[in-house]
Amino acid sequence: MKILVTGGAGFIGSALIRYLMQGTAHHVLNLDKLTYAGNLESLRSVATDTRYEFVQADIADQPSMVALLARFEPDAIMHLAAETHVDRSIDGPAAFIQTNVVGTYSLLEATRAYWQALPVERRDAFRFHHISTDEVYGDLHGADDLFTETTPYAPSSPYSASKAASDHLVRAWHRTYGLPVVLSNCSNNYGPFHFPEKLIPLVILNALAGKPLPVYGDGLQVRDWLYVEDHARALFKVVSEGRVGETYNIGGHNEQKNIDVVRGICALLDERVAERPAGIENFASLITFVKDRPGHDQRYAIDASKIERELGWRPAETFESGLRKTVLWYLNNLDWCRHVQDGSYQGQRLGLDHSQLLA
C-alpha cells in the first residue's frame, strides 16, 4: 500500500513510520507541519529509504492537501497530526481548535474529493484511520470502571474537547458521505523519542540535571500506560484489518498512579546512574508536589478487549519492561534530548535529505 501519515514527525507518528518502514513493504509519505513537537531526527533511521518521503505542510491548508493526495495517490491515510499537550491547551486553546478541528475538517474534505474520484475497486479498499485519545471520555470514578468504545464523551480540557470534536467529524463524514473510516482511541503513550515536556522524559531529564521532579497535586491520578511501539503495531492492525465505521480502544493494561511512575523512574535511575548531581543520594529526594492542573482528570483506564478479540492484538510490553527500555533509551540518547532542549533540532528540520516543502 501507499500510506499517508499525518503528524509523522511527532512521537507516535514517528514510531508508526519506523514500524511501517522496518516491518512492512509499504510506501509511506510523512506529512508534518513541523511545529515545536515535530522532530525529523526521530526518523533518521528511515530517512534514506526509497519507500519513504517527507513533505512539510499544514493539514488546515485544504488546497495543498488536495494537491498532495492527487500526487501521492494513497491507499490509506493515518491521521495523527494534532496539538496534544493538555497544559498548552489550557494556556492557548486557539491552536488546538485550528489544528484538531479545522485541520481535521480540511483533511476530511480533501480526502472525500480524492476518494470519490477513485476507481470502484480502489475506492472500496481505501481507509481513513483517525487516531484519537482516551481523554475524550473524561475520567472514571469507580475503581473497576473502564472506558469502552461506547463510553459517552465528556472531555475536560480544551485539548480533549478538540479531539472529541475531530472524532465526531470523522464519524459524520462516514455516515453522511460514506467515507470508509476507522477510529482508534489510545491511552497514555510512552517510550523512545518522547518530547521532553511529557511526564516520563521530563522526570528522567530533570533527575539527571538535579532539578525538582514536579508531580501534580497528590500524584494519585491513575493512567493506563501504553508502550509506543506496541501502539504502532496496533495502529497498523486497525488500518489494515479493522471494520469500516468501527472504533477500537487501544490500551496497555498497565494502570499506574502518577507518583508510582515517578518513583519507578527514580529507582531505575538509582540503579543505572553512577554519577549523580552533587548532594543527591537518591533521585526520589527530588520529587516535588506542585499545584494541581485545572480540571485534572483523576483516572483513565481502557478496556482493550475488542481489538484483542477482533484483530488479535495485545501489548507485548508490561509497564515494568517498557519503562526500563524507555529509561535506558534516554540514558543512551542524551544527544537527541539535548537537541530538543536547546532547540537545535528545529534548525535541522529542513536540512535533512528527506525534507521538502509543499508549495
Q: What is the DSSP string of 198-233?
A: SHHHHHHHHHHTT--EEEETTS--EEEEEEHHHHHH
Task: Collapse the DSSP code of 114 into the 3-class scheme (helix H, G, I; strand E, B; otherwise coil) and give the result.
Answer: helix
Tens-digit pLDDT profile for residues 159-179? 999 999 999 999 999 999 999
Number of Cα atoms under 13 Å in the Cβ half of residue 24:
18
What is the mean predicted confidence (pLDDT) over 306-333?
97
User: Catalytic pick from 19, 114, 137, 159?
Assistant: 159
Least confident of 87-96, 142-151, 185-194: 142-151
What is the mean predicted confidence (pLDDT) over 258-269?
97
Amino acid at 32: D
Tens-digit pLDDT profile for residues 217-240? 999 999 999 999 999 999 999 999
What is the mean predicted confidence (pLDDT) over 194-199?
88
**φ and ψ of 274, to 5 deg:** -85, -45
61 is catalytic: no
Whether pTM > 0.85 for this model: the answer is yes
> Please, are residues 66 and 113 in contact by the beta-carbon 8 Å criterion?
yes
User: Catalytic pick from 41, 58, 83, 134?
Assistant: 134
Tens-digit pLDDT profile for residues 10-57? 999 999 999 999 999 999 999 999 998 899 999 999 999 999 999 999
pLDDT: is 221 or 114 the higher one?
Answer: 114
Give yes or no for residue 308 having a pLDDT over 60: yes
What is the mean predicted confidence (pLDDT) over 272-297?
90
Give yes or no for residue 339 having a pLDDT over 60: yes
C-alpha cell at 225: 500506560
User: Catalytic pick from 32, 58, 135, 255?
Assistant: 135
| pLDDT of the residue at 196 | 85
Banded pLDDT at 359 (limits 50, 70, 90): very low
| pLDDT of the residue at 347 | 64
Tens-digit pLDDT profile for residues 61-107? 999 999 999 999 999 999 999 998 888 999 999 999 999 999 999 99
> How far is 214 from 199, CA to CA, in rounded Å?
9
Where are the alpha helices (H) located in the chain, listed in sequence order?
A: 11-23, 62-72, 86-91, 94-96, 104-116, 120-125, 158-177, 199-208, 228-241, 258-272, 305-311, 319-332, 334-341, 344-347
87 is catalytic: no
C-alpha cell at 30: 510523512
Amino acid at 254: N
2-194+225-253+299-318+346-351 CATH fold = Rossmann fold (3.40.50)
What is the mean predicted confidence (pLDDT) over 304-323?
97
353 is catalytic: no
Q: Residue 206's Cα: distance from chain center in Å?
A: 22
What is the mean predicted confidence (pLDDT) over 338-358?
59
> Please, are residues 341 and 196 in contact by the beta-carbon 8 Å criterion?
yes
